[in-house]
């Protein structure tokens, strides 16, 4: 007799390392079966997907089921964000289930059903992950959390406004970008793959049917034929009444949709969708396909497009953000290459190099102004190198110098001890924030056609050991000038007289920790002055004095070698809160051999000789 197992599974987010949960259920007599992802409602969690519900699907349709909590629910870490980064939790749960239970799940047959808020998750997810699902079924889903001033859910459903604002970080009027990036109805151009089945009752007052009707209007205009819309009304039997199909019997209305859904799932007709070899996709915060991905900043408030051609590995990414504010950090990823290899790529017709990680993912980061685009071409793998060389940048004897400044931010206190370039403070506690700014100029010291294999920044702890406490530091690339000299047009010193010495430079930043732009104009340092977090480094407060920590600067150094004018430096900041602060040796530290430095390892390339026809093909022949 078959035994249905129902297991709580812990897993980690791959985008921010949160500890998360999902439930997995399967029949121990079945192998290589379709996966059905079941998504709970807007205010629910994985426990709303009951054991009886999952057991019914397993017994009737021979599938494996997972119910994903998503961040901020039950015991899952993080905060809910209404179909933004939380959708990546579903993607990560799917991959974790496939990896751990690979003999039970057919990894090519991934499907999803979601209800109300879960239906909204699905509508957005088929836009963000266009070639992931075979059959996707949103029941009475939310297609716009509030961007449209009439039909957006915030406007039609007053009872949910506070919850929506908490997840989206404000009202539609205050943060329109945030709402636009979450509104699936504006990104349906991505949804021509596999099967989509929409269910909604025309009398629904919890999620008004206009959410599904507006999607239907968009799909009709696109002439896509892979969508099925099923609307019910008074007098129909069955009706798609708002709620979860949690009963064990077949009498509950929404359960009556399941035979048609699972017939398509088990047929395998729609499994393993394949992206067209070329086209245009919209980017709702972020985009993840089987071949490539794009992140716009943190994936919470931005939109863009990518024109792609997989035959010649060409990608043009455009920043189409709604309110056109600030510079937009872009992260481009290409998958399935040789692990740990160096690839020559072209960025706006300028060649550079990137190294893939162990899994064969190539990552390139840049920044775009509003309506600006970047063209990336992945050209070829580099198969051999000349002798590797190492260059050290820093203020230790024999090194090439750099520039560091410690910044103290506080609404009331000015403390010269925190303004020296000898000791830097990283603090985020009690209303105090400190950051450290740094810059190393590598162009001119490394050949412009070199391949940077690695670049590591080395920082040493300047304070004595304390009680055990994990401390996290984030590294961001600056996108505006921070005033290396008193005459720079960017961030300058206050007062300006002789103020380029590090001891008084910090005075420009006597501002509130909650409003970094509130300082005396033009001397301020705004959050928009730095890009997305490049890397994170874990410190231990209990580490002995002079303990050295290394930070991966490789991607930034490769960009600096391409364009020294774009090298505006970087910022180090404490990204968690705690009772203690980190002290680091800086460039004027009396402990000379503990001063920070950047070690760059590079080589000059020798590439494979190829025929003319091969050269135009790209990586497929390497």
pLDDT tens digits, residue range 482-501? 543 333 333 333 333 333 33
Domain boundaries along the sequence of the chain = 4-267, 278-383+609-621, 389-601
Fold entry, domain 278-383+609-621: Immunoglobulin-like (2.60.40)
**Three-class DSSP labels, 275-340:** CCCEEEEEEECEEECCCEEEEECCCCCCEEEEEEECCCCEEEEEECCCCCCCCEEEEEEECCCCCC
Q: Is the pTM of this model over 0.85?
A: no
pLDDT in tens, 417-436: 344 456 666 766 555 556 77
The pLDDT assigned to 503 comes to: 32
> pLDDT tens digit string along 134-151?
999 999 999 999 999 999
Phi-psi region of 243 (alpha: psi -120 to 50; beta: other; left: phi over 0): left
How far is it, in rounded angstroms, from Cα 136 to Cα 270?
Answer: 10
Answer yes or no: is pLDDT of 527 > 50: no
Cβ neighbours of 382 (radius 10 Å): 19
- Closest by alpha carbon to 556, among 484, 414, 452, 483? 452
The sign of the dihedral angle between the CA atoms of 603, 606, 608, 610 is positive
Token digits of residue 608? 């494979």
578-592 average pLDDT score: 79
Q: Provide the pLDDT for residue 322.
A: 62
Query: What is the architecture, at CATH level 2, of domain 4-267?
Result: 3-Layer(aba) Sandwich (3.40)
Q: Where are the beta strands (DSSP E) in 360-450?
A: 362-368, 373-382, 384-385, 389-394, 403-409, 423-429, 432-439
Positive or negative, the CA dihedral 217, 218, 223, 225 is: negative
Nearest to 347 by CA among 536, 175, 199, 558: 558
Q: How far apart (Å, rounded) are the C-alpha atoms in residues 23 and 58?
A: 14
Same fold? 4-267, 278-383+609-621: no
């Amino acid at each position: 007799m078959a035994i249905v197992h129902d297991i709580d599974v812990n897993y980690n987010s791959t985008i921010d390392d949160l500890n998360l949960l999902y439930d997995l259920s399967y029949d121990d007599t079945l192998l290589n079966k379709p996966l059905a992802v079941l998504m709970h409602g807007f205010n629910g969690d994985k426990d709303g997907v009951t054991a009886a519900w999952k057991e019914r699907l397993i017994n009737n349709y021979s599938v494996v089921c997972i119910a994903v909590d998503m961040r901020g629910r039950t015991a899952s870490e993080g905060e809910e964000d209404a179909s933004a980064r939380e959708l990546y939790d579903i993607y990560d749960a799917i991959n974790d289930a496939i990896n751990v239970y690979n003999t039970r799940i057919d990894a090519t047959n991934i499907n999803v059903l979601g209800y109300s808020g879960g239906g909204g998750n699905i509508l957005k997810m088929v836009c963000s992950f266009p070639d992931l699902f075979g059959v996707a079924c949103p029941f009475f889903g939310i297609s716009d959390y509030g961007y449209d001033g009439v039909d957006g859910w915030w406007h039609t459903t007053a009872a949910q406004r506070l919850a929506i604002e908490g997840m989206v970080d404000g009202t539609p009027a205050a943060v329109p970008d945030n709402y636009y990036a979450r509104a699936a109805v504006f990104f349906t151009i991505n949804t021509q793959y596999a099967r989509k089945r929409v269910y909604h009752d025309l009398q629904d007052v919890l999620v008004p049917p206009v959410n599904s009707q507006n999607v239907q209007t968009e799909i009709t205009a696109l002439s896509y034929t892979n969508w099925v819309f099923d609307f019910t009304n008074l007098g129909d039997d069955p009706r798609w009444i708002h709620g979860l199909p949690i009963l064990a019997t077949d009498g509950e209305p929404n359960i009556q949709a399941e035979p048609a859904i699972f017939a398509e799932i088990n047929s395998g007709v729609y499994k393993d969708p394949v992206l067209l070899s070329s086209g245009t996709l919209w980017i709702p915060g972020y985009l993840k396909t089987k071949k490539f991905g794009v992140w716009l900043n943190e994936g919470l408030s931005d939109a863009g497009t990518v024109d792609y051609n997989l035959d010649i590995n060409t990608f043009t990414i455009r920043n189409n953000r709604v309110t056109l504010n600030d510079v937009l950090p872009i992260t481009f990823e290409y998958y399935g290459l040789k692990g740990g290899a160096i690839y020559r790529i072209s960025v706006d017709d300028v060649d550079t190099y990137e190294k893939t990680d162990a899994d064969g993912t190539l990552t390139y980061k840049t920044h775009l102004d509003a309506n600006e685009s970047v063209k990336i071409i992945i050209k070829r793998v580099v198969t051999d190198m000349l002798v590797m060389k190492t260059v050290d940048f820093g203020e230790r004897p024999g090194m090439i110098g750099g520039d560091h400044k410690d910044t103290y931010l506080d609404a009331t206190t000015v403390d010269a001890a925190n303004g020296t370039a000898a000791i830097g403070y990283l603090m985020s506690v009690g209303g105090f924030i400190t950051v450290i700014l740094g810059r190393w100029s590598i162009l001119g010291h490394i050949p412009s056609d070199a391949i940077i294999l690695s670049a590591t920044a080395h920082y040493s702890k300047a304070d004595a050991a304390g009680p055990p406490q994990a401390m996290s530091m984030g590294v961001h690339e600056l996108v505006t000038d921070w005033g290396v000299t008193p005459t720079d047009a960017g961030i300058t010193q206050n007062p300006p007289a002789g103020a380029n010495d590090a001891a008084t430079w910090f005075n420009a930043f006597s501002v509130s920790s909650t409003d970094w732009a509130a300082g005396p104009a033009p001397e301020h340092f705004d959050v928009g002055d730095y890009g997305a977090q490049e890397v994170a480094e874990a410190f231990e407060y209990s580490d002995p004095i002079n303990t050295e920590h290394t930070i991966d600067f490789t991607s930034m150094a490769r960009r600096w070698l391409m364009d020294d004018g774009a090298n505006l430096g970087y910022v180090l900041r404490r990204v968690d809160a705690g009772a203690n602060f980190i002290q680091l040796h800086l460039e004027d530290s009396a402990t000379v051999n503990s001063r920070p430095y950047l070690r760059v390892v590079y080589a000059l390339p020798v590439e494979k000789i190829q025929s003319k026809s091969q050269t135009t093909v790209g990586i497929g022949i390497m």
